[in-house]
Chain A
Amino acid sequence: MPDLLAARSQMAMSLGFHILFAMVGVAMPVLMVVAERRWQRTGDHIYLDLAHRWAKGTAILFAVGAVSGTVLSFELGLLWPAFMEQAGAIIGMPFSLEGFAFFTEAVFLGVYLYGWDRISPRAHLAAGCAVAVSGMLSAVFVVIANAWMNAPTGFRWVDGRPVDIDPIAAMMNPAAFPQVLHMTLAAYAATGLVVAGIHALPLLRQPRNAFHRRALSVALLIGAPAALLQPVSGDLSARFVAHWQPVKLAAMEGHFKTERGAPLRIGGWPDEAAGETRYAIEIPYGLSLLAFEDPTAEVKGLLDFPRQDWPPVAIVHVAFQVMVGLGSYMALVSAAALWLMWRRRELTRHRWLLRALVLAAPMGFICAEAGWIVTEVGRQPWIIHGIMRTAEAVTPMPGLVVPFLVFTGLYAGLGVVVAWLLHQQVLRSPEATEEDAA
């Protein structure tokens, strides 16, 4: 395995692993806090039980997220020293702020998890809110730093070095808002729907189980609105890409030939050698309309860009299709659930909805992985879009396949253990009917 590929694989694997835990770390505290608040308001002890169980799950996922995040902060230097040497001064600012947000999150999570009988109920709830807010802020700052790699601003590049550095302008880069919005909503949608799916499954067999009914209602409260809004924020992101990274857009769409009134391709397989995408369903004028709000707008195709500036087209296109497809399903199911909730219908009577939610459970995380593949692989061959190539940034250290395999093995082991431990938690499903709750 060539060193550049090994380094990219290690980074991709580390990010792909960490993002799962980071997303849960952002959204799970909100669920915990809502459940605790409902317990405090109604005295319904099932909500307290829920808050306890969710807090326990959050503790383990947060810990793995914290250590895998540490690995990433080091890997920036271990794998991409030349990138950090030039970019550190420009994008260190959001990382510094993220450091403090993460600090606050860790402090108050400690208070929340271990402080149930040490502080007043009000202080305990406030600690949970602090975790939720700072968790969201950490994600915001880190995504801002990543957005800069797609839309590098706040410096001038002279003779292979940045000059006139302006870290604030770098933070205000045009990719920041769409990416932050898309990722934050993704965290709430994915986490909310995975929890909803986990509790929808036992409700199919015991629809009167009060514990799972309450869990489902809280999870949908957070997940469904986010999943419903996600296509709108995705549209915003796509328009950013259309203007700033036309090669990435062309790869996402498998769009090879520049044309006016370009069609939107659903599915299909891009053939780089032949320069066309086969077997796709084409919606006439769709791409021009979505990307530029004009059905006859010209959309540049890959063939108009130098071949050495192409990302791997098939990977980006397929990942994009997966994200959009599964995301649309999540939005539809969420719309149905929200409609029924708004009409005050009993969700558990609609077994089709429960089944649809079970099916949706893993989708948010698959979407997130696919989405990061679109944005990261789609940025290749650049590490800083249009400025520095990934190949120029990689460490001179040889034999990078070794750390790649070691960390992959380590994370695979951790993943299995975490999955098993969470499974144990879910299996011990409490029996509680509405009469118990009263």
Chain B
Amino acid sequence: MTADLGPAELVAGCALLALTAYVLLGGADFGGGIWDLLAAGPRKKQQRALIAEAIGPIWEANHVWLILVVVLLFTGFPAAFARLGITLHIPLSLMLIGIVLRGSAFTFRSHYGPGHGQEGGEGGRTSQHWGRIFAIASAGTPLLLGLCVGALASGALTAPGHAGFTATFVAPWLTPFGVGVGVLTLALFAFLAAVYLTVEAPEPALREDFRRRALGAAVAVFVAAFGTLGLAHLGAPLMGRALTTAPWAPALHAATAVAAVTAIWALWRRRYRLARVAAAGQVALILWGWALAQYPYLIPPDLTIRAAAAPRITLVLVLWALVAGGLVLFPSLIYLLRVFKREPTRS
């Protein structure tokens, strides 16, 4: 398996890393919206304010990871991009509506309306409406993203033939397994957001709010992950088989389990920074497990990374562009996070 790693595999690997970054960073921003929707208790307002403050400066940068994934896909693997565009037209379009509404509603709420989203007064009511749209779109978008990933993993996205509208454009993605992956994605994003917010919360009571939410989300992730794995045997047989019988499967499951248990233990013991690292590790491992399970296929059951790949010259140039872009991007991102994600001063 490791014998023939060429530029195609490297570009695919970079796309996976970009997707990982999108899930760990952009996913948590969506998760923040989910917690805005579920805000409750005596500190409802403070919860929403903390979420807005955490997302505000960084969500647009985090969002660009998704664009990078799309660009790498259509540059490096145009055949795969074309097939996904055709077969996933409906869920991708719905996801885009979610992306548009989430981003615009959040910006409308944070930059306009008196008191920046505080309640009371006519402007306050308007910004409450934006908050509502932001929160609902934040919950819907991950569900649709997961649905698309589920369809991809299930091996149902074959080259479109003449099988009729439902068989070609609906049936491949609207499956129990697809919905399972959608729910899992939602739970993972909510989990990440809650864990990150425990680190960013400025005061203990608020930190406890998100600690409880993180623990609850961890349970939801556990249930959704095992449910999806169960559905995989019927809905995504290739995936299911690889995840149970492949030689690397036990090691992957062990590593994911260690990360998951560490995250929960750290949350329990209120060691939030450790929990943040463990939670991110857990989510990344789940993502990489999916990628490994369908390797060498980009779109199972028939389109491999090699078969979908652009000519070598394009792949090599893209890799150089990634190196050059990375040299600008990573220092900038580190700077952004250093400016806005400093430890809250304990006072």
- A contact residues vs B (CB 8 Å cutoff): 56, 59-60, 62-64, 66-71, 73-74, 76-79, 81-82, 84-90, 92-93, 95-100, 102-104, 106-111, 113-115, 118-119, 130, 165-168, 395-399, 403, 406-407, 410, 414, 417, 421, 424
- Could you name 29 residue pairs across A and B whose Cβ atoms are closer than 8 Å? A63-B60, A63-B106, A69-B67, A70-B96, A70-B99, A71-B100, A73-B70, A74-B70, A76-B74, A77-B81, A88-B75, A88-B78, A89-B314, A92-B76, A92-B310, A92-B318, A104-B328, A106-B60, A106-B64, A110-B340, A111-B335, A115-B340, A168-B317, A395-B86, A399-B165, A406-B93, A410-B101, A414-B100, A414-B104
Q: How far is the CB of A78 from chain B (nearest CB, A)?
A: 5
Q: Which residues of the partner chain B approach A406 to less than 8 Å between Cβ atoms?
A: 93, 97
A115 B67 Cβ-Cβ under 8 A: no
Partner of A73, one of B67, B84, B339: B67
Most B CB within 10 A of own CB, among A63, A115, A410, A421: A63
Residue among B56, B78, B85, B104 making CB contact with A78, cutoff 8 Å: B85
**B112/A167 in contact, CB under 8 A:** no
Among B102, B112, B329, contact of A424 (Cβ-Cβ < 8 Å): B112
Q: Indicate if B66 sits at the interface (CB-CB under 8 A).
A: yes
Q: B73-109 vs A: 1/0 string, CB under 8 Å?
A: 0111111011111100100110011011111101110
How far is A100 from B99 in the complex, measured between Cα atoms in Å? 20
Given contacts A81-B83, A84-B85, contact A95 B339 (CB under 8 A): no
Contacts of B81 in A (CB 8 A): 77, 81, 84-85, 88
Report the minimal beta-carbon distance from A320 to chain B, rounded to whole angstroms.
Answer: 31
Give the size of the chain B interface in residues (CB under 8 angstroms): 63
- Nearest chain A CB to B149 CB, angstrom units: 15
**A-chain residues with CB within 8 Å of residue B322 when the two chains form the complex:** 96
Q: Is the CB of B336 within 8 A of A92?
A: no
Query: Measuring CB to CB, which residues of chain B are less than 8 angstroms from any residue of chain A?
Result: 56-58, 60-61, 63-64, 66-68, 70-72, 74-79, 81-86, 89, 92-93, 96-97, 99-104, 106-108, 111-112, 160, 165, 168-169, 310-311, 313-314, 317-318, 321-322, 324-325, 328-329, 332-333, 335-336, 339-340
- Besides A70-B100, A95-B74, A398-B165, 10 other A-B contacts (C-beta < 8 A): A73-B70, A89-B78, A89-B310, A92-B74, A96-B318, A110-B60, A115-B339, A167-B313, A395-B86, A407-B97
Asked whether, in the complex, the Cβ of B112 is within 8 Å of the Cβ of A421, the reply is yes
Q: Which of A107, A395, A398, A421 has the most CB of B within 10 A?
A: A107
Q: Which residues of B contact A167 (CB under 8 A)?
A: 313-314, 317
Closest 10 CB pairs of A and B: A92-B75, A77-B85, A88-B78, A100-B325, A89-B310, A81-B82, A63-B107, A85-B82, A114-B57, A110-B57
* Contact, CB under 8 Å: B325 / A397: no
**How many contacts A-B (CB < 8 Å)?**
205
- Name the CB-closest residue of A to B123: A424
Question: Chain A CB within 10 Å — which of B57, B71, B72, B83 has the most?
Answer: B71
B336 x A107 contact (CB < 8 A): yes
How far apart are B325's CB and chain A's nearest CB, in angstroms? 3
Partner of A77, one of B84, B112, B328, B340: B84
Q: Are B92 and A74 in contact (CB under 8 A)?
A: yes
Chain A residues whose C-beta falls within 8 Å of the C-beta of B112 in the assembled complex = 60, 421, 424
Cα separation A112 to B103 with both chains bound (whole Å): 18
